[in-house]
Amino acid sequence: MSVVDTCFLIDLIREDPGAIRFAEEAPLLSTTSISAAEFLYGARISTKPGVIEAARAFLAHFPVLPFDSDAAAIYAEIAAGLRQSGGRISSFDELIAATALRHGEVIVSRDTHFTAIPGLEVISY
């Protein structure tokens, strides 16, 4: 199973050809509770009617991996390590990466900064 990040979810709903092709070829895609929260937040602040309902229906197609105490410990290691090397990325992306690592999954993203995280396999689309 591959874990898709927030940008993948957005690209997929916007019908990005690369995201669509990847989704069609992937056997099973999941996301994280952090990406789900970011995605729903974006939908919630939209001024277009029905967006939040559509976003919830869209997310229902993805198993959502939880951020738990084991992921919290991994996050602390990631964030501290990146801080020491001067390479912090967004806290949300560090939380997403920690969740993927916690569950032993690869992450699917077009955001190259995920490659700075030791032990995280990143698949671009």
> Which one-letter DSSP state was computed for residue 21?
H
- Residue 108, strand partner residues: 4, 123
pLDDT score for 88: 79
pLDDT score for 27: 80
CA torsion sign for 22, 24, 27, 28 is: positive
Residue 92: its H or E element: helix 91-102
| Structural domain containing residue 11 | 2-123
Query: Which domain CATH number covers 98?
Result: 3.40.50.1010
Assess contact for 35 and 4: CB atoms under 8 A.
yes
Q: How far apart are CA 109 and CA 115, in angstroms?
A: 10
**113 closest CA partner among 87, 95, 92:** 87
Tens place of pLDDT per residue across the chain (125 aa): 899 999 999 999 999 999 999 999 988 999 999 999 999 999 999 999 999 999 999 999 999 999 999 999 999 999 999 999 988 789 999 999 999 999 999 999 999 999 999 999 999 99
Q: How many domains does the chain have?
A: 1
